[in-house]
Chains A and B, each alone.
Chain A
Amino acid sequence: MVVGESKPIAEILEMLKDCKKVVLAGCKGCVTVCNVGGEKEVGILASELRLARKAAGKELAVLEYTCERQCDPEYIEALDDLVKDADAVLSIACSVGPQYVAARYPYVPVFPGINTTFIGGAVEHGVWKEYCQACGNCILGDTGGLCPIARCAKTLLNGPCGGSSGGKCEVGKGAVDCVWHLIYERLKNLGQLKKLEEPMLYKNWATSRDGGPRTMIREELRK
């Protein structure tokens, strides 16, 4: 899923400093699962904003709504009535949300209330890790099911590098696993260490964002 983290409240207050009335839009998708942008967080953030602005002597009206999804234009429509007389929309969906909001309401400013951080998942309660960089040409089949593009600090295709020590990456002060060490151990368990003997050659990054912003068209679904 897409993982995000809340922006500091001070940053959000600064963005909204000229507003009197805003729509705070959450999303029931990924950001609900990672506890950053669902119905509950909409409620909490709305109260925090109201309180802070009240304390500052400049009240803010916050209209709360949590969309089914914000990564789907048809669910943005549900905001139409609320947005009508609002000064701005504050979206706490992943960053697709604010952009769909911007596309639907050309004359209403939109602000992101969270930082969209990565494609990943929870490894324990309250801890999330990055697992994929959406390179557009998945090589997990060659690397024991573990992604060196997202999880190796240097995106190596022929690791582990000389900085790998005791299973940990040279980056992260001992807190980050060396994914190439994990790949090595896993291929050893699978009896596939031979795979690591041949140099893995150049990756085609054109399928990644390096080829320009990506659009995917599936003709069979368009009809």
Chain B
Amino acid sequence: MTMTAGSNLEKILTSGQKAVTCECGPPRGADAEHFRHKASYLKGICEAVNITDNQTAVVRFCSMAASRIMMDLGMEPVMQMVTRDMNRIALQSNVLGAAALGIKNLLCLTGDHNSFGDHPQAKNVHDLDSIQLLHCIKTMRDDGKMISGTEVQGRPAMFIGAAANPFADPFEFRVVRMAKKIAAGAQFIQTQCIYDMDRFAQFMQMANDMGLTEKCYIMAGITPFKSVGMANYMKKFVPGLVVPDSYIQRLRGVPKDKQGAEGIKIAVEQIQQCLEMKGIAGIHLMAIEWEERAPEILKAAGLLPRPKVD
């Protein structure tokens, strides 16, 4: 796979080493200091950090500003973009603006429906979907053309990513949909949080059989449980997520103050299992509002220190 943006993430993945990305959500206010503080835990422990774009349809400060702040901290962002809130005019404008700011990794998502967020009365946009946004960015970068066909003055050099959820339905179609994303322009994929290892192994088998792991870097998404309460919540309320009962029992089996540690142990095991699977190019660690624990998880999983590339 040829280099397109030359981001740190792209370089590590291209070198064949297992890559690590983390995640950091901007706050629900203009408090940049708070964001810098959370982000600082992730410095030096991963190639790049995903900056969420109003995740779960809750208003936060924008992913482009947060990406730039992250760069000022000497870290590399993966700027997330959802198609829920902006039409093709605004999306393309943001891609160009992000490139102008030096952002090199973009992740294209459709986004959670606005009815889940803090402004359920909002008008949603959905002019494009995630697959069309991937195609749009790739076309701007490689062909120098906007959706309209207008020439781009200065192509955005972007390493383009997408998400995949192996746990949504219909299962047989999940890998086909990932293939569509790859065909549309995705160079790397970060999966939804993996808890059902058997189903994920089956998904990866299909991806390998279809030759997708040759065309795209697939990073396994891991989210540590902070408590049995969180595990139950994810099982019951997060659409398209499968949480096996065995984990819930395991967490329940330890005293409350040890549940966090047990959750971390589970996450480390999951990372190791994923890394053993054929076709896994790296780990995407989403320690939600638990950034400070990310270093010990990655260390225990044998993923620290991070390799250097120039």
Chain A residues in the interface with B (C-beta under 8 A) = 153-167, 170-171, 178, 181, 184-185, 196-202, 205
Contacts and interface: CB of A to CB of B under 8 A. Distances in A.
Given A164-B168, A171-B115, A199-B135, 18 more contacts: A153-B115, A154-B124, A154-B126, A155-B129, A156-B110, A157-B129, A158-B131, A162-B164, A162-B239, A163-B112, A163-B165, A163-B239, A170-B113, A171-B116, A196-B176, A198-B180, A202-B88, A202-B132
5 contacts: A154-B129, A155-B129, A157-B129, A160-B169, A165-B169
B74 to A, nearest CB: 33
A162 B128 contact: no
Contact of B169 (A154, A167, A197, A205): A167
Interface string B172-190: 0100110110011000000
Nearest to A163: B239
Contact of A162 (B115, B176, B240): B240
B163 A162 contact: yes
Which of B116, B147, B180 has the most A CB atoms < 10 Å from its CB? B180
Contacts of B29: none
Given A154-B126, A160-B168, A163-B112, A170 B239 contact: yes
Q: Would you call the interface of chain A mostly helix, strand, loop, or mixed?
A: loop
Given A155-B126, A158-B180, A199 B131 contact: yes
Nearest to A148: B129
Which of B127, B128, B169 has the most A CB atoms < 10 Å from its CB? B169
Contacts of A159: 129
Contact of A202 (B128, B176, B239): B128
A159 B183 CA distance: 15
A161 B168 contact: yes
B184 A199 contact: yes
B244 to A, nearest CB: 16
A95 B147 CA distance: 36
Which of A158, A159, A164 has the most B CB atoms < 10 Å from its CB? A158
A197 B132 contact: no
A163 B126 contact: no
Contact of B147 (A166, A184, A197, A202): A202
A199 B116 CA distance: 27
B187 to A, nearest CB: 15
A165 B240 contact: yes
A156 to B, nearest CB: 5
Interface residues of B, number: 34
Given A158-B131, A171-B113, A202-B88, A181 B176 contact: no
B171 to A, nearest CB: 11
Contacts of A184: 170, 173
A201 B130 CA distance: 11
B184 A154 contact: no
Interface string B269-285: 00000000000000000
B129 A165 contact: no
B180 A197 contact: yes
Interface in B193-249: 239-240
B63 interface: no
A161 B181 CA distance: 12
Contacts of A165: 168-169, 239-240
Given A163-B239, A171-B113, A199-B183, A205 B127 contact: yes
A44 to B, nearest CB: 31
B67 interface: no
A160 B88 contact: no
Contacts of A163: 112-113, 165, 168, 239-240
B155 interface: no
A187 to B, nearest CB: 10
Contacts of B130: 158
Nearest to B136: A202
Contacts of B164: 162
B240 A154 contact: no
A198 to B, nearest CB: 7
B192 interface: yes
A176 to B, nearest CB: 11
The 4 closest A-B pairs by CB, nearest first: A162-B165, A170-B239, A163-B239, A158-B131
Contacts of B126: 154-156
